[in-house]
């Protein structure tokens, strides 16, 4: 993670431009590895188990999936709007975001994804991708062919239900983000994004008590919230001055979880984390 | 590309920018200041916490190169007019 741009860095770029001709296949580091998922299925299992108990058989089936492992640098597109993927990918390490660009070239990030997420799961049933997904940090991702996913769903109907539930939750998160960007002021808007990040990271065991990594630069956070980088910086500074958070490099520490939740108008119900105490 | 700092003044609060932002030139910095002042003003001015929001742009040497200020003028008719008698 050494070449990642931390939140406090002066380089708040990372805005994709049309001429950024990048494809995961050409921008990988090292040779791709074709393997069975094995331990790489760990994050997926942890993610699915945030709201659903898997049986040993089902976990074994996920570990037995043929998987194509790829290391991808930061700020690279993994899939793009208009693509017709024949496979889905799960994040094993690192952070990615789902985004769209306006005709005028402005980017709106509509979701961030953490290890265990399968950000383009919809491509299993919707032929053409209606969004792009790019890495925020260096990532290790595991591609699984749609055929494999379909066979898994036929053989293990509870896994099919788990994938279905996962896309429903993705929809719930989008609804919350429309609310956030459309109706919340800057201060609760930023606080809400930080609350969601910490809650999701904690649910999959990636937050150390009240601390976790913030995978976004201020410019990316501006694209998440529909604000300008200056406004994001100002708002983060006020959150710090009010002793709600501490930011050191890319590490976020929540100093007062109850007050941050209140500031962010944050109710984690929409994340549907029923199987974890992080739902509190 | 050059480094610019954007300090924000809003009423009695002053939020200095210690990190800066890389932009192509002063014109781009001025646009960023204008857009930011408008956005911050949209947030704060209707609440009455400040009468004006100013974003001051400094270059990498700390010299001021541009300023953007937004204000909101409210004017209530006093005394409130009584409904006309028909």
**pLDDT score recorded for residue A24:** 45
Residues of B in contact with A187 (CB under 8 A): 43
**pLDDT score recorded for residue A111:** 96
**pLDDT score recorded for residue A21:** 39
* Mean pLDDT in residue range B42-49: 90
**pLDDT score recorded for residue A277:** 55
**Token pair for residue A214?**
């913030």
**pLDDT score recorded for residue A208:** 84
Closest CA to A219 of B7, B21, B24: B21
User: What CA–CA distances, in Å, run from A35 to A67, A69, A70, A97, A142?
Assistant: 5, 8, 11, 26, 10
Confidence of residue A3 (pLDDT cuts 50, 70, 90): very low
- Name the closest residue on chain B to residue A187, using Cα atoms: B43
* pLDDT tens sequence across A73-106: 999 999 999 999 999 999 999 999 999 999 999 9
B15: phi then psi, degrees, rounded to nearest 5: -110, 100
Residues of B in contact with A13 (CB under 8 A): 22
**pLDDT score recorded for residue A31:** 66
Residue whose entry in the numeric block shows the structure tokens 């199987």 = A275
Confidence of residue B84 (pLDDT cuts 50, 70, 90): very high
**pLDDT score recorded for residue B49:** 82
- Residue A280, pLDDT > 70, answer no
* pLDDT tens sequence across B19-44: 899 999 999 999 999 999 999 999 99
Mean pLDDT of chain A: 88
The torsion angle over the Cα atoms of residues A11, A16, A21 and A27, rounded to 10 degrees, is: 60
Closest in A10, A186, A227 to B3, CB measured: A10
- Residue A28, pLDDT > 60, answer no
Residues of A in contact with B17 (CB under 8 A): 230, 233
Phi/psi-derived region of residue A215, left when phi > 0, alpha when psi is between -120 and 50, beta in every other case: alpha
Q: Which residues contact A39 (CB under 8 A, 6 or more apart)?
A: A63
**pLDDT score recorded for residue A30:** 60
A260: closest CA of chain B, how far (Å): 19
pTM score: 0.88
User: A113-142 b/e with 16+ CB inside 10 Å = b?
Assistant: bbbbbbbbbbbbeeeebebbbbbbbbbbbb
- Name the closest residue on chain B to residue A241, using Cα atoms: B15
Confidence of residue A215 (pLDDT cuts 50, 70, 90): confident
B85: closest CA of chain A, how far (Å): 41
**pLDDT score recorded for residue A9:** 35
Closest in B19, B35, B43 to A233, CB measured: B19
User: Angle at Cα A269 formed by Cα A265 and Cα A272, nearest 5°?
Assistant: 145
Closest CA to A68 of A85, A47, A89: A89
Closest in B15, B20, B39 to A228, CB measured: B39
Closest CA to A46 of A204, A199, A279, A166: A204
* Mean pLDDT in residue range A221-231: 96
């Amino acid at each position: 993670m050494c070449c990642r741009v931390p939140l406090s860095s002066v380089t708040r770029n990372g805005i994709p431009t049309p001429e950024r001709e990048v494809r995961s296949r050409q921008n990988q580091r090292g040779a791709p590895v074709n393997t069975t998922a094995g331990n790489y299925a760990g994050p997926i299992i942890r993610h699915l188990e945030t709201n659903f108990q898997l049986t040993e058989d089902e976990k074994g089936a996920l570990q037995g999936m043929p998987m194509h492992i790829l290391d991808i640098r930061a700020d690279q597109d993994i899939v793009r709007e208009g693509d017709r993927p024949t496979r889905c990918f799960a994040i094993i390490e690192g952070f990615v975001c789902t985004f769209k660009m306006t005709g005028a070239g402005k980017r709106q990030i509509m979701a961030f994804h953490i290890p265990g997420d399968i950000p383009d799961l919809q491509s299993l049933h919707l032929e053409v991708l209606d969004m792009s997904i790019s890495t925020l940090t260096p990532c290790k991702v595991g591609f699984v062919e749609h055929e494999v996913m379909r066979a898994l769903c036929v053989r293990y109907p509870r896994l099919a239900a788990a994938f279905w539930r996962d896309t429903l939750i993705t929809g719930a998160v989008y609804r919350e983000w429309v609310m956030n960007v459309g109706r919340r002021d800057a201060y609760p808007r930023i606080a809400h994004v930080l609350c969601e990040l910490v809650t999701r990271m904690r649910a999959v065991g990636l937050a150390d008590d009240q601390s976790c990594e913030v995978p976004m630069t201020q410019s990316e956070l501006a694209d998440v919230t529909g604000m300008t980088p200056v406004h994001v910086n100002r708002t983060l500074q006020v959150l710090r001055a009010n002793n709600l958070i501490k930011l050191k490099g890319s590490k976020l520490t929540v100093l007062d979880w109850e007050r941050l939740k209140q500031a962010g108008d944050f109710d984690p119900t929409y994340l549907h984390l029923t199987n974890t105490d992080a739902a509190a | 590309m050059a480094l610019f700092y954007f300090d924000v003044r809003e009423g009695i609060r002053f939020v200095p920018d210690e990190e800066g932002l890389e932009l192509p030139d002063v014109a781009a910095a001025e646009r960023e200041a204008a857009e930011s002042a408008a956005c911050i003003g949209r947030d704060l001015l209707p609440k009455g916490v400040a009468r004006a929001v100013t974003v001051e742009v400094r270059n990498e040497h700390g010299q001021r190169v541009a300023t953007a200020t937004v204000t909101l003028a409210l004017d209530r008719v006093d005394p409130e007019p009584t409904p006309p008698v028909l």
